[in-house]
Amino acid sequence: MKPKVKTIIMTCSISPSQWVGKTENGSDLYIRYRWGGLSVDVNDIEILYADCGHGYDGEMTTARMMGLTKDVLDWSEAEVEG
């Protein structure tokens, strides 16, 4: 079962783009895009790492991040900021 995102906030938009949030059950969520790699951590455990850009890329929109992580996170009821 995929963790269900309750809240997500973009804390930095470039170099790296990053987000913090909470899952429905209270777990901490940290997502980061830097050097062309997207990582998703739940309670400091990496559940996804994906190469999705070139080596110097560190900018990603929230919408693109959500699309790339939909296989590991449930975004259906998330409160999104940024």
Total domain count, the chain? 1
Q: Is the pLDDT of residue 63 over 90?
A: yes
Structural domain range at position 14: 5-81
Neighbours of 9 (CB within 10 A): 15
- Residue pair 38/52 in contact (Cβ under 8 Å)? The answer is yes
Q: Is the pLDDT of residue 82 over 90?
A: no
Q: Which of 56, 10, 6 is nearest to 26 (CA)?
A: 6
Tens of pLDDT, residue by residue over 9-51, are 999 999 999 999 999 999 999 999 999 999 999 999 999 999 9
| CB-based contacts of 59, cutoff 8 Å, min separation 6 | 13, 14, 15, 17, 33
Q: Is the pLDDT of residue 55 over 90?
A: no
Residue 45 has what pLDDT? 97
Q: Which of 73, 74, 36, 37 is nearest to 57 (CA)?
A: 36
